[in-house]
Structure 1
Amino acid sequence: MKLLVFKSLWEWNGIWQGRLEQTAESGYAGVEYTPPADAKEDRTFRRALDEMNLQYIAQVVTRGPDHITSFREQVLRAADLQPLLINSHSAADRMPAEEQFRFFGEALRLEEQIGIPIAHETHRGRAFFTPWQTAAVLRQFPELKLGADFSHWCAVCERMPDAEDEDVHLCLQRSIHIHGRVGYPGGPQISDPRAPEYQEYVNRFIDLWLTICRQRLAAGAPIMTFTPEFGPAPYLQLLPFTGQPVTDLWAVNLWMFQTFEQRYREMLSEDVLVSQL
């Protein structure tokens, strides 16, 4: 199974012009973000990706009051850009269960229609804002897939996700895409994953991500997609009074890319050795 690492354009607030060359030169397989702000740029954006030999993961962000219509309109536009997959911020945390079930039923029908995998992100403010709420929906829809961004659960639940928890375990099984951001109890983003004081949290998250990889590998998936997603302020902490960022986001995300890629290779080597015993 091949690991494909994507560059999030969130770091640059979605600006892609002048960024694709740097992304390709740094070894990323593609970029992830919503389609261009101006739909008139869609063809230019797709052509630029092809010229740089970069793939695309599209994001959609549903909005009320009609989340189903919002989802459909955005997904159909994203599908025209030929993404490898679509990652969706889906529905809302305040929606009653029956409305959420109706939303995800429609989402699965649209996914089948377009023939592109759709991962519904575990995200604050969305239907999948906690592991237990996520698991309740997953049990109703066996075909539903997740985009794993467990850092949000650190903020909502004020604790680290536990792979031994049955709800978290189910979420790991259903994840097809990973957002590589590390949270801490009470917050969605540590200031710098390279700092020794955060290594416990970094290792905990990498273990969760590798669990997803092992399950996808066992299921025969040909690829695993991973997007380092340390983001700008207010996720990125700023120094008081000066407003200066505490770290360099480009360097942090590149470090997360290279670190997880190395751990992934080690996992594959260890699994090969175990199978030979």
Structure 2
Amino acid sequence: MKNILIALLILLLEHSHAQEQKLLFFQTNWGNNLSWDAFCDRAKKSGFDGIDVWLPSNQESQDALKAALKKHNLLLNLMHGTNKSVPFKQSLTQFEEKLKVMVQWNPVLINCHTGSDFFTLEQNKAFIEIANKISEESGIPIYHETHRGRFSYNLPDTKKYVSLIPDLKLTLDISHWMVVHESLLEDQNKSLEEIVDRSNHIHARVGHAEGPQVNDPAAPEWQKALDRHLDIWKQIIRKRWSEGQDVVTITSEFGPPTYLPALPYTQIPVADQWKANVFIMNALKKRMKIE
């Protein structure tokens, strides 16, 4: 009888902990032409917990964003990036100054397109170190996205940075690597373990060997690519949950035309961007068995 009671207690505790574990989904405003209020209203009604945006440059738009977030009770992720069009030192200064402004917004996190594939390792490392310093001082998580054109544009080079910088934290957008390496990386599971260990945020877009975005993730011809991405994302989520990070954040990040393929001449998109992002959110919830 005692053993049965202990087993029931363990099950209750596990169930209680599982109830605390959750995913927060953010809708990208990439390509958005709606007002902040209309965009936030649609995101909320579609089931998103927050939005993922580049900080508006003018005060009027910033005020409208703040009002919309409050009205629709949505969380905020901010995007940031290294300016590759100016010399390194100037770019580094701009990067730091903008981060100091962004943390004042108290976002859930800041996601960075960090450095450049044409910068040296030490130059890229300088951007990461500044971000880590500001993150520690502010308490705002700052992550570095795996992204073409940045220090993290491929798997082998990113592993070098992971080895050199113990506190490097990544946003995994593995769709970029699928096209860079012209594969679904099915023979690189061991190498990906180090990346999964450092991934704290997910950009959920499905790529393939010929491009960073399938035309429609719901189409049956992309099932293999979809399953591969879902499996990798599930590994990250399970890893974070097992380590006590009960809330994992995901941005559904299918982009607009022409990132989204469009028909020639008319430039009519072959699929619906919003629908794709809602689909990928629900597909991941289903994979994680979240209602």
The answer, yes or no, to whether TM exceeds 0.5 is yes
Output the CA distance in 1 between the equivalents of 2:118 and 2:156.
15
Q: Is the 8 A contact 2:24 2:49 kept in 1?
A: yes
Deviations 1:147-191, CA, capped at 9 Å, x for gaps: 110111122221223474443221111111111100000210011
Output the CA distance in 1 between the equivalents of 2:60 and 2:101.
12
Q: 26, 33, 54: which one pairs with 2:46?
A: 26
RMSD over aligned Cα, in angstroms? 1.8
Matched positions, count = 267
Question: Does residue 254 in structure 1 map to residue 254 in structure 2?
Answer: no
Look up the equivalent residue of 1:117 and give its one-letter code. P
Superposed displacement of residue 36, structure 1: 1.4
- Aligned in 2, Cα 1:250/1:147: closer, same or farther, shift over 3 Å? same
Q: Is the 8 A contact 2:179 2:208 kept in 1?
A: yes
Structure 2 partner of 1:168 = 192
- Aligned in 2, Cα 1:219/1:67: closer, same or farther, shift over 3 Å? farther
- Give the SS at the match of 2:111: strand
Q: 56, 72, 79: which one pairs with 1:52?
A: 72
Q: Which runs of 4+ in 1 moved over 6 A?
A: none
**Mean alpha-carbon deviation: is it higher for 100-109 or for 6-15?**
6-15
- Give the SS at the match of 1:33: strand
Output the CA distance in 1 between the equivalents of 2:201 and 2:230.
14
Matches within 5 A, 1:49-128: 49-64=69-84, 65=87, 66-128=90-152
Gaps of 5+ in 2: 1-20
Deviations 1:210-232, CA, capped at 9 Å, x for gaps: 00001101110021111111101
Question: Does residue 149 in structure 1 map to residue 169 in structure 2?
Answer: no
Structure 1 partner of 2:244 = 220
Structure 2 partner of 1:273 = none
- Give the SS at the match of 1:265: coil
- Give the SS at the match of 1:224: strand
Output the CA distance in 1 between the equivalents of 2:209 and 2:32.
27
Q: Is the 8 A contact 1:127 1:134 kept in 2?
A: yes
Gaps of 5+ in 1: 269-277
Output the CA distance in 2 between the equivalents of 1:205 and 1:97.
28
Structure 2 partner of 1:38 = 58
Structure 1 partner of 2:11 = none
Percent identity of equivalent pairs: 35
Output the CA distance in 2 between the equivalents of 1:201 and 1:165.
15
Structure 2 partner of 1:197 = 221
Q: TM-score, normalised by structure 2?
A: 0.87
Structure 2 partner of 1:136 = 160
Deviations 1:108-149, CA, capped at 9 Å, x for gaps: 112111210011000010110001111111111111111110
Output the CA distance in 2 between the equivalents of 1:68 and 1:199.
41
Q: Is the 8 A contact 2:36 2:68 kept in 1?
A: no
Question: Does residue 4 in structure 1 map to residue 24 in structure 2?
Answer: yes
- Give the SS at the match of 2:136: helix
Superposed displacement of residue 234, structure 1: 2.0
- Give the SS at the match of 2:283: helix
